Structure 1
Amino acid sequence: MIEKHTSNNGLRIVLENIPAVRSVTIGIWILTGSRNETNLNNGISHFLEHMFFKGTNTRSPQDIAEEFDSIGGQVNAFTSKEYTCLFAKVLDTHKEYALEILADMFFHSSFDELEMEREKKVIYEEIKMYEDTPDDIVHDLLAQASYGGHPLGYPILGTEEHLKGFNADTLRNYMKEQYIPENVVISVAGNTDDSFIGKIENYFGSYNAEYKPSNIVRPTFLANTIERNKDTEQAHLCLGYDGLPVGHENTYSLIIMNNVLGGSMSSRLFQEVREKQGLAYSVFSYHSSFLDNGLLTIYAGTGKDQLPLLRDTIDKTVETLIKSGLTDKELTNSKEQLKGNLMLSLESTNSRMSRNGRNEMLLNRHRTLDEMISEIDAVSHDSIQKVIEKLFNQSSSTALIAPDTSG
């Protein structure tokens, strides 16, 4: 049972009590990410996430680390295109202590100039590491090819040039604009009860900020191509197709279709590209859902001489999917796999906290396990065919990182 509470300032709290476990996971979700940035401050959401760990008015960075270590807790954070999350998992006996530290990090981070300069160097290295991993960076290039100059095409990490210009005032002003109560969800899952909502209220229920309506603009999907020559052993190819937004009625049809296409070891792409032809070690597909659109991505890496054959194999696999859809066996097996993955995920307080936080923030609703299973069972060949026609009725965007092929 999920308890929901909206504070007077507009902040939302969702709590799921799981008496059978001894842990509690607390997550602070903020509806802001690289999509909310501009060409001048790209990377600030991710940098801000890092700076939450770099000291408060009363705690040093080492204090934060030692305090979580002293209770056997785990604390972490991440930034995506559309949201940021700061979270901790602790024993149920330490949940109030963990909440106090998280609140201190959220409200009282000092943004010390020396710590900021140190952390900029850390992120410079993170960017360099990313650039040295072509099978990662090619996905950022695909976002640029798919969305052009729209913020959904921005890299989450930003650039060294942007980072150099950030200071304490830059971060505080960004928080003032984006970290408003209406954009924040506190999600809790584990061995606790609704009395914990009152504890959260004590920290988060009274802060206020000037409400500003969202200025996000829906992107137009672009079937562009971006190619980059790089000194690599492999060519790394990504294809992108205009997908479905968060909460779309055909979401489960899309998940099942993608599972058959390239989402598992038994998928058509894996079997055809890797197992039958030996063209790639890594080949897969996945779908990213955003508030108002989505992107289906196909990735594979191969030697540059085999790139034309790889592309041809992928195209033929997609063409067969368009023409014939799924077999009865594929549909049945994928439904059972999806239901199994869903049920297994419920065993983790981390995953429950994450699912509840995202659902509240992006959809403002929660479905029971029985409701989700019913929706999965309702997926049919017809509903999957609608998804196939929606995704593959236009040209794909393309990103390619490969050794120089001119010579």
Structure 2
Amino acid sequence: MHLNETRLPNGLTIISDHMPHVETVALGVWVATGARHEAASETGISHFIEHMAFKGTARRKAREIVEEIEEVGGDLNAATSLDTTAFYARLLKSDLPVALEILADIMLNPTYPGEELERERNVILQEIAATRDSPEEIVLDLLQDAAYPRQPLGRPILGTARTVGRFSAEDMHRFREARYHAGGMVLSAAGNIDHAALVRHAEALFGGLRGGKRVVPKPAKYAGGVRLSSRRFEQAHVVMGYQSPSFREPDFYAAQVFSGLFGGGMSSRLFQEVREKRGLCYAIYSSAWGLGDTGMFNIHAATGHDTMSTLIDVVTAEFDKAATTLPEAGEVRRAKAQLKAGLLMSLESPVARAEQMARQMLALGRLMPTAELIEKVDAVDAEQVRRLAERVVAGSKLSFALAGAGKAGRSIVDNVEQRAVRH
């Protein structure tokens, strides 16, 4: 990796990774503002602003934005997460100035024209409606509400029909102007790129952007609890979660290894016990994610209504086993190998590199060399994994969400709540 870092006088951080063997560049601007920075009345506004960035600026109409980037064979996109909003592009190395100029325009000069705003409002309302037809989306939203009730982390990133239905252009300008400033932005690029040229173009386009400190959200308060959707689908979806380390904690890497051996691949405990031995479901997997102040370890599976209780019993037993007994050396080794391979494979993509660097800079204030990441994974041993499992299961209240089981869901949830009280 050929990493470079520059900070402009206004506070904008510019980072790049030179990959001389490729002919493309991936670049974007990551803003340290996402769904968790919204008040209850603002739920979904970050996502709405992301959509509206492509709908017209002081210089370009909506169609001109996409035609200009596609004229050089590139593509333009954006994404909203809990803690960031990103605007990014991918194109040939010679066309870097084109992408950078468009990115600056859509971020700094949006106009939110009335007709476009109403059309995009309807698009987002349809997007929200689509999630209501998906048991997987329903159960994940319920889990977040159970884990982080009455706070931004527990609310849907897309917003609700009520909040999205009343946002105005003035609301968006006000929110963006309060949070979109140079001190809370990172321009990240990877590919066949010259860092000095990137800085020169970026300073011309973003140098006039005001500085300022990042908006720090209120600390998350994990609670745990049980949520149920009474709707019935062909399959019932369940997610079981516990609070786990934030990315700032040393145990974050043990959580990643535990997730791999517990439910990360076909050799994992859950896949072997739940699917291969018992045939209870088609897919079951675990995940461990972390923010700066909290994290969660989740198990997600879907199965028939009549086998859901058995599946939950098996997963619970496997959790208890993981918390009380050392994992085998072989499964720890395989989990670490999967984790490292996934990391190194992703770094072959300029898009993945640009995103990883931006997230590291926003999260840690620095770039973490690949060798350091590998070293942290390699340092995890069997006892650390067991202690992590014990911490997650014994030291955290269960968050549980069920969707798709219809009327049968009530008895399942009652059993889970009774077991949690006894535990």
1:224 paired with 2:225, answer: yes
The letter of the residue matching 1:204 is F
Superposition deviation, residue 280 in structure 1: 1.2
CA shift digits 1:346-376 (9 cap, x unpaired): 1100000001000001111222222222222
CA shift digits 1:328-351 (9 cap, x unpaired): 001111222222111111110000
SS in structure 2 of the partner of residue 40 of structure 1: helix
What is the distance in 2 between the residues matched to 1:398 and 1:33?
Answer: 25
What is the distance in 1 between the residues matched to 2:266 and 2:66?
Answer: 39
The letter of the residue matching 1:19 is P
1:293 paired with 2:303, answer: no
CA shift digits 1:257-287 (9 cap, x unpaired): 1001112222111111112111112211111
Paired position in structure 2 for 1:48: 49
Paired position in structure 2 for 1:15: 16
1:107 paired with 2:126, answer: no
CA shift digits 1:8-66 (9 cap, x unpaired): 11111111111111111111101111100011110000000000111112212111111
Structure 1-normalised TM-score?
0.97
What is the distance in 2 between the residues matched to 1:83 and 1:50?
Answer: 14
5+ unaligned residues in a row in structure 2: which ranges? 412-423
The letter of the residue matching 2:164 is L
Paired position in structure 1 for 2:356: 355
Native 8 Å contact 1:234 1:403 kept in 2: no
Paired position in structure 1 for 2:203: 201
What is the distance in 2 between the residues matched to 1:18 and 1:179?
Answer: 29
Partner residue of 1:403 out of 401, 406, 411: 406
What is the distance in 2 between the residues matched to 1:213 and 1:96?
Answer: 27
CA shift digits 1:160-216 (9 cap, x unpaired): 11112111110010011111211111101111122111111111122115x466352
1:60 paired with 2:61, answer: yes
SS in structure 2 of the partner of residue 392 of structure 1: helix
Native 8 Å contact 1:233 1:403 kept in 2: no
What is the distance in 1 between the residues matched to 2:181 and 2:109?
Answer: 15
Native 8 Å contact 1:14 1:187 kept in 2: yes
Paired position in structure 2 for 1:162: 163
1:321 paired with 2:334, answer: no
Native 8 Å contact 1:8 1:206 kept in 2: no
The letter of the residue matching 1:258 is S
The within-5 A match list for 1:223-302 is 223-302=224-303
The letter of the residue matching 2:406 is P
Superposition deviation, residue 307 in structure 1: 1.5
Native 8 Å contact 2:69 2:98 kept in 1: no
Paired position in structure 2 for 1:337: 338
The within-5 A match list for 1:296-315 is 296-315=297-316
The letter of the residue matching 1:55 is G
Alpha-carbon RMSD: 1.5
Q: For structure 1, which segment, 349-358 or 194-203, has the greater mean C-alpha deviation from structure 2 after superposition?
A: 194-203
Going from structure 1 to structure 2, the CA distance change for 1:24 and 1:135 (only over 3 Å counts) comes to same
What is the distance in 1 between the residues matched to 2:369 and 2:185?
Answer: 23
Q: For structure 1, which segment, 121-130 or 391-400, has the greater mean C-alpha deviation from structure 2 after superposition?
A: 391-400
Superposition deviation, residue 306 in structure 1: 1.2
CA shift digits 1:291-350 (9 cap, x unpaired): 101011111111111111011011011111112232100111122222211111111000
Query: How many residues end up aligned between the 2 structures?
Result: 406
1:29 paired with 2:30, answer: yes
The letter of the residue matching 1:403 is G
What is the distance in 2 between the residues matched to 1:212 and 1:328?
Answer: 46
Native 8 Å contact 2:26 2:190 kept in 1: yes
SS in structure 2 of the partner of residue 14 of structure 1: strand
Q: For structure 1, which segment, 113-122 or 372-381, has the greater mean C-alpha deviation from structure 2 after superposition?
A: 372-381
1:173 paired with 2:174, answer: yes
Native 8 Å contact 2:324 2:390 kept in 1: no
Sequence identity percentage: 35
SS in structure 1 of the partner of residue 334 of structure 2: helix
Superposition deviation, residue 138 in structure 1: 0.7
Native 8 Å contact 2:244 2:288 kept in 1: yes
What is the distance in 1 between the residues matched to 2:319 and 2:352?
Answer: 32
SS in structure 2 of the partner of residue 165 of structure 1: coil
Paired position in structure 2 for 1:370: 371
SS in structure 2 of the partner of residue 143 of structure 1: helix
What is the distance in 2 between the residues matched to 1:220 and 1:4?
Answer: 34
The letter of the residue matching 2:272 is Q
What is the distance in 1 between the residues matched to 2:349 and 2:237?
Answer: 34
SS in structure 1 of the partner of residue 193 of structure 2: coil
Superposition deviation, residue 235 in structure 1: 1.4
What is the distance in 2 between the residues matched to 1:55 and 1:316?
Answer: 54
The letter of the residue matching 1:329 is G
What is the distance in 2 between the residues matched to 1:275 and 1:305?
Answer: 18
The within-5 A match list for 1:382-401 is 382-393=383-394, 394-401=396-403
